[in-house]
Amino acid sequence: MQNLMIDGDRLWQTIMETAALGATADGGVRRLTLGAEDKQVRDWFRDECEAVGCTVEVDEVGNMFARRPGRSADALPIAIGSHLDTQPTGGKFDGILGVLAGLEVFRTLHAAGYETEMPLMLVNWTNEEGARFAPAMLGSGVHAGVFDKAFADSRTDADGVSFAEAIEDIGYRGTTPIGQIRFAAMFELHIEQGPVLERENADIGIVTGVQAMRWYDLAIRGREAHAGSTPMDMRCDALADAASIILETQTAARSLGAMATTGQLSIISPSRNVIPGHVTLSLDLRHESDEELDRLEAAVSHLIAKLCGERAHLEVVWNSPAVHFDPRCIQAVRDGAAKSHAATREIVSGAGHDSVYVSGVAPTAMIFVPCKDGLSHNPAESTEEDQCSIGAQVLLETIIAYQSSMVSGDQTFQRQS
């Protein structure tokens, strides 16, 4: 088989070309879902895919699917997917790198006249970020049946514009029915959005899954009283309780290899010389294992009950179980990275991605590349040119490896109908 090499310079130039669509003065990118810049990048994406022989379909929530034919015309395609939208303070790499690395794979195959056995498909998922329309991962969630189309349409942005109005406005309400397109597998390349690969000098993260995440609201009642005339041993200070709970939760999380974060904290009706009588705060708990997260939750509930009894109320507001990616897909990433001589590390994603939902309907795995200082959702988000190219090469080799595992195994291709 010929040695296919992606063109790192071409990939880098393409990254810079798309970074101009929604570029901000501080070097970042602001390309909000279904806005004018999103339309620009979508039009660009469609043209570039057609230029390498793909046909592009759009589904009813704007997910874009570029199909590259294979020798087995009716086999399900192997997909590569990520997203083109950004946060308001986004960078040049989050999401779009996965789509552009896929485009570079397609360009490389096209230039070599290389025909894969199975068809390939490059996907742009609508509204991964959830920045304009909550929740995040909306397009992939609708595709996977987690949300329905009516739910997506009903989402509104801060100005009261609905998803339905916005998608009609930019002309990206497609006609392909939701979920009609199915994949043999999907691979998503993404920046790590954390500091681990950089710290360990790894080029590639072989992502084996996504950790379980739970969000809670905690309300603590104390008793408002005078800061000067209430002795220390006669107080019921809701903020002091909150402080103990935050620190003890973090200690419990460390001992279980979990993560605990409080990013929101409010004193209701605060005053400098009043003992806080009502405090609310958020808790974000994460672990690779649902069982360990259950243990942490039990420990936190116990410590809250011990400290505050009936004065505290803990409520789960979001629960996302751990995701374990498909073993055959993970092996294809390992094989693809080995073929590319990349330094690797196996890693569990700390952030949510479109792959979380897609993994419910197709075998899925992810490939991470490092990002400088672990920074993302920030104009300074940065990944080296070499790291982008190694990522794209690994993506290419992964697709080839996955296809070989399907062809050489006792698997018969899944047909489209």
Residues binding Zn ion: what is the number (CB under 5 A)? 2
DSSP-derived 3-state class of residue 176 = strand
Under the binding rule (CB under 5 A), the answer on residue 95 touching Zn ion is yes
CB 83 to Zn ion: min, Å: 6
| Closer of 334 and 353 to Zn ion (Cβ) | 353
- Cβ neighbours, 10 Å, residue 160: 7
The one segment of 95-103, 131-139, 268-276, 377-385 that binds Zn ion by CB under 5 A: 95-103
- Rounded to the nearest 5°, which phi and psi values hold at 226? -70, 135
Under the binding rule (CB under 5 A), the answer on residue 192 touching Zn ion is no
Pairing outcome for strands 185-191 and 364-369:
parallel
Under the binding rule (CB under 5 A), the answer on residue 139 touching Zn ion is no
CB 95 to Zn ion: min, Å: 4
The one segment of 13-21, 66-74, 92-100, 316-324 that binds Zn ion by CB under 5 A: 92-100
CB 286 to Zn ion: min, Å: 17
Residue 366, beta-bridge partner list: 188, 207
Pairing outcome for strands 185-191 and 78-82:
parallel
The footprint of Zn ion on residues 65-84 (CB under 5 A) is none
Q: Are 296 and 252 in contact (CB under 8 A)?
A: yes
CA gap 99, 89 in Å, rounded? 20
Helix residue spans in 200-289 (DSSP H): 238-255
Cβ-Cβ contacts under 8 Å for 167 (sequence gap 6 or more): 34, 61, 62, 126, 153, 173
CA gap 315, 219 in Å, rounded? 9
| Closer of 157 and 381 to Zn ion (Cβ) | 381
Under the binding rule (CB under 5 A), the answer on residue 335 touching Zn ion is no
CB 384 to Zn ion: min, Å: 18
Shortest Cβ contact with Zn ion: which residue? 95
CB 377 to Zn ion: min, Å: 9
| Closer of 83 and 334 to Zn ion (Cβ) | 83
Under the binding rule (CB under 5 A), the answer on residue 94 touching Zn ion is yes
Site residues (vs Zn ion, CB under 5 A): 94-95
